[in-house]
């Protein structure tokens, strides 16, 4: 279900590339475009992207990678194909390829919420907690209502960085948007109990 939501978000972001200013991500300087802009895409490329998404929804990640490589060869201006191929590579266990493609997506749009969230997850699993925090914060900066990044930043701050102020802030912001999430309600109570 989580992958399906990410893929749907990527489809929505496929036709739009957003931006504003230069940002340092890891060791690389990444530029963002100044405004939202519509990018005209060849209908065959768009159809191949949709077909790749369908393959991912069917857990056919290797086939999706092949098709997404073809999409990227023909259309290099948009981050979503890079994000989706990164997700597929990660599912196939190729973390280095996943990271490489997420960074490619972020070179096109440093604030891309799904790319940053996925990169944060990769970095957290690799023990690169400060890099994970930066990725989650980049996702939230331009997309303050992107719940996955808020939740993941809260978990990172709570369990890995022991920054309880950060954790509480993220979880409470999350609940402002999704007040019925009982799991996060429990997390808030737990952080408050431990924070005293």
Per-residue pLDDT, 21: 35
Look at the pTM and tell me if it is higher than 0.75.
yes
Domain map (residue ranges) of the chain: 2-143, 144-196
- 4-62 per-position pLDDT tens digit: 555 555 554 443 333 333 333 444 434 444 344 567 788 899 999 999 999 999 999 99
Average pLDDT over residues 102-131: 97
Which percentage of the chain shows pLDDT scores above 70?
81
CATH of domain 2-143: 1.25.40.10
Q: What is the pLDDT of residue 7?
A: 52
**CB contact at 8 A, 166 and 129:** no
* Beta carbons of 135 and 108 less than 8 angstroms apart: no
Q: What is the radius of gyration, based on Cα positions, of the chain?
A: 17
- Asked which of 4-8, 63-67, 176-180 is least confident by mean pLDDT, the reply is 4-8
Cα–Cα separations (whole angstroms), residue 6 to 1, 69, 88, 139, 177: 9, 19, 11, 13, 18
Which distant-in-sequence residues (6+ apart) come within 8 Å of 112 by Cβ? 13, 18, 79, 83, 105, 106, 139
pLDDT at 26: 46
Least confident interval from 8-12, 47-51, 135-139, 147-151: 8-12
Q: What angle do CA 25, 26, 30 make, to 5 degrees?
A: 30
pLDDT band at 196 (very low <50, low <70, confident <90, very high): confident
Residues 6+ apart with CB under 8 A from 185: 175
Return d(Cα 75, Cα 108) in angstroms, integer. 12
């Amino acid at each position: 279900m989580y992958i399906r939501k990410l893929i749907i978000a990527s489809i929505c972001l496929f036709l739009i590339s957003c931006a504003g200013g230069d940002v340092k991500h890891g060791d690389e300087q990444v530029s963002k475009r100044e405004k939202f802009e519509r990018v005209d895409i060849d209908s065959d490329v768009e159809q191949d992207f949709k077909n790749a998404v369908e393959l991912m929804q069917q857990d056919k990640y290797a086939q999706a990678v092949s098709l997404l490589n073809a999409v990227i060869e023909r259309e290099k201006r948009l981050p979503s194909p890079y994000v989706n191929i990164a997700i597929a590579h990660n599912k196939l266990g190729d973390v280095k390829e996943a990271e490489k493609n997420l960074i490619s997506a972020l070179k096109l749009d440093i604030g891309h919420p799904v790319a940053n969230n996925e990169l944060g997850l990769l970095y957290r699993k690799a023990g690169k907690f400060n890099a994970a925090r930066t990725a989650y914060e980049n996702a939230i900066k331009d997309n303050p209502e992107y719940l996955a990044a808020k939740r993941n930043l809260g978990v990172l701050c709570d369990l890995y960085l022991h920054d309880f102020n950060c954790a509480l802030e993220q979880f409470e912001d999350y609940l402002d948007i999704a007040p019925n999430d009982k799991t996060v309600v429990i997390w808030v109570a737990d952080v408050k109990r431990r924070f005293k």
